[in-house]
Amino acid sequence: MKNRRATHSARVIAVTLLCASSLLVTTGCFGTFVTLQRLYHWNMTIDSNKFARWGVFVATVVVPIYPSATIFDMIFTNSVEFWSGRNPMTGDADGARTLHSESGEDVSMRMREDGAVDVSIRAPSKPDTHLVVVHEGDSVAAYDDHGALVARGVPLPEAAQ
């Protein structure tokens, strides 16, 4: 009887230590939930009718796509992001970063070796826009595919004058 009690106590201690260590390891590891956000933004582009979007949402919860995306983010992508500082679902492993807006626009940015930034803007029902953003002296300039200047930004002290 004494041997069984010791085994039970050892299991309780092991489980308690495992739970405590998992709390210490995951403290502050909330993550960005990129997969879940992409699924949400995709759902927003399905239809302008809110009832259609709601129907797709309910279907993806029942099937269970939303819960799977959440679990995938919690276990895999947020853990990788916590330990490496990069989320593997954002595409920034190859130097690219993509942002998604609620209106359905996607903005992808990729840093070049020469310091310029390639920017691609995709919007529903609009042609894609490609820009190259470069640092020129004390300003930043954006050029289109043909090399024409689209915009120039100046430092804030000069802009305030």
DSSP 104: S
Radius of gyration of the chain (CA): 24
Measured distance CA(27)–CA(54) in Å, rounded: 34
What pLDDT sits at residue 103? 76
User: Can you give the pTM of this predicted structure?
Assistant: 0.44
pLDDT per position as a tens digit, 37-93:
888 888 888 888 889 889 988 998 898 888 888 888 888 888 887 777 767 776 554
| Cα angle value 88/93/96 (rounded, 5°) | 110
DSSP 103: T
What pLDDT sits at residue 128? 83
Average pLDDT value for the chain: 77
Which positions ≥6 away from 15 have C-beta within 8 Å?
A: none
